Structure 1
Amino acid sequence: MDTNAWLALAALPGMGAHRLKTLTDHAPDWPWGFLAALPAPAASALRLWLDHPDKSPLQASIDAARQWLEAGPDRHLLHRGHPAWPALLDELPDPPPVLWALGDLAALSGPGIAMVGTRKPTADGGRNARGFANDFASRGWCVVSGMALGVDGLAQQAALDAGGATVAVLGCGVDVIYPASHRALYQQLTQAPGALVLSEHPPGTPARPAYFPRRNRIITGLSLGTLVIEATEKSGSLVSARLALEQGRELFALPGSIHNVQAAGCLSLLRNGATLARGVDDVLEELGHWAEAYLPRRAEPQAAAPVQISSVPDAPLEREPDALLAALSTTPTPIDWLVQQTAQSVSECQQRLLMLELDGRVAQQAGGWVRLR
């Protein structure tokens, strides 16, 4: 499907991100398969656009999108099938159908770590945000956050200062600066090499409170793990923490004093199972295996070891005709790594995994897919 088709789907009435994900996962033929599977109002709207685009309200939004995209080389619209589409988002139950992007798409090529926290960090929290972000960026990791006041902005500024990659996901259009006080940071995020601004909302969309919790699912969804620097017990950062766990991603938190109200949320996360992060090495020790799909290949990649072991004595891996099954082991493997190793598309991998799951040969667990037999 081309960009116009994805824009049309995203604008259909009554079709949210979750319903579109459920539909597109079945990979129906375009457009007849979609017309047959869509609910009546959405199918009628799509048919009108296909037959008489000049009479369809969908065409106006498509024309506006095209006009915005053609205004500069740093403007992009991402969707499934786009070369820069982040495969990790396909693991979410409700990924955005399209993502508006402003800046350098190379920011999406490395492993991502979400860094979130309070808008009013202590001096120690601010130092930690800058220090962790600088270290991540220096080691080739992309710092993903929301350009918010406090920890978010400090982390992304530190990543930029280190010459590293960073992605800001906004709860408004990519051309809307929110908060306004981050104008200088926004300009760097849209102009610096390795920096990018993303949003699921069309350009010109103002910031609204309801958009920010949904924005958080993209921040954590783009990342292999989420690090909470400082957070109160009712912080919005705990929403991101919950989303990271629901998405099967690793969750990390910095410890703090029991007398510091800004550390109460992190202490609660640690008490409930989050991984303690004393430094960047603690995070990379947990995430290093998953990052192999992004980082430069070493002489002996960590991810290659499980593939050489088979629990089925009469079916050795070297004679395994199914490359996808051969790439799986008892260790959960994310789908983006499978895509890279098998040279198949995300859709092909998902369809084959479904068939193997129905056959009782694989299963999905937190962190990816495992081989059962």
Structure 2
Amino acid sequence: MEIIILSKSLKQLNVDLVNTSSQVFEIEFARSLSQYAKVSIISLQANIKEVNKDISLYPIENEKKMKYCIKKAIEKNGLFIDRERIMLLFGYDYFILNNLSWVCKQKEAYLISYTFDTHKAALEHKNRIRRFLIDTYFQLGIKKLNSIGGIILFNEEAYKSLHLSIPYLISKVGINNSEISPVVYKRNENKCFNIVYAGSLERYNGIDEMISAIKLLPLKNIFLNIYGDGTLKNEVIRKSADDPRIHYRGIIPRGELDIVIENADLLLNLRDTKHLVSKFAFPSKLIQYLSSGIPVLSTSVLKDSTFNNVAFVIDELSSEKISDMIFYIVENPDEQQKRSMLAKDYIRKNFLWDNVIKDVYDFLRKISQSS
């Protein structure tokens, strides 16, 4: 089988140089899938061809003439030689779906969407007219989904909310065994307690609540370091100025963030589980966190009773709940160490790419052989 993935964001294939969890996911997903098939990525952001391990990255010359440029890239680089051909995109952008549908028809390939986000999250801060126009555009994309070969999602609820009738697979984010840290967490009692949040600065990620939680704590030896970007960036900067324990650190590459995580005492993975985003998204950042061996405080984003034993889980996104749990964690270093060790075993049993990607490959193979 031969698979071509269209990316809207990848500039290169070095996972240490990217700065979003979705870009990390795209690279690791492609690399894992390359165990079973020939995988190439055509990117709207790449400038030069790159080969990294078992996957290749190709730029396209003109995004406005996307379908012709993709077809040219396929023919120029000798792609889609295998009889079983899959074209995969992320999401349901109407323009991209139309262009890729044309390419797939020309090249006798099946088009698959991997959808792990909803456009509605980006509408929350738009005015009414822009919300209507953007929503109308993406509704066309959702309607177009029912004409493609299949879709991969993270949650059953997402499939229902999109009102689809095409084949689907419920999957999850994975990690390589080599990325699970061998280091056993141990609190250094002589230093400050270092809390880290890294991710999108959006309300559904509990940004307001985590900042307010720190302000509620009477402890002076704790620090909250916030990394990322989003609509709440300026608000985070403003609120952090009121408390010397809170610091906004901006955006840094994945490789630098790994070092930050290694030196943390607690990682925050917060999400409003009632928000529409939770129907689509999978907490990929959480998998990275649990693999690091650093203790994690999280809302109940995984419906798994074991998860409550490997992370410090709160059942409600509120400043009081976060504050109370942080205080408990600070007072119980032995519990931190125990849960960090259990977390790594939990990841090995449930989230290794070797296991996750086999189901994805089988799903794609079934669709490619459906004619």
* TM-score between the two structures when normalised by the length of structure 1: 0.28
More strand as a share of residues: 2
* TM-score between the two structures when normalised by the length of structure 2: 0.28
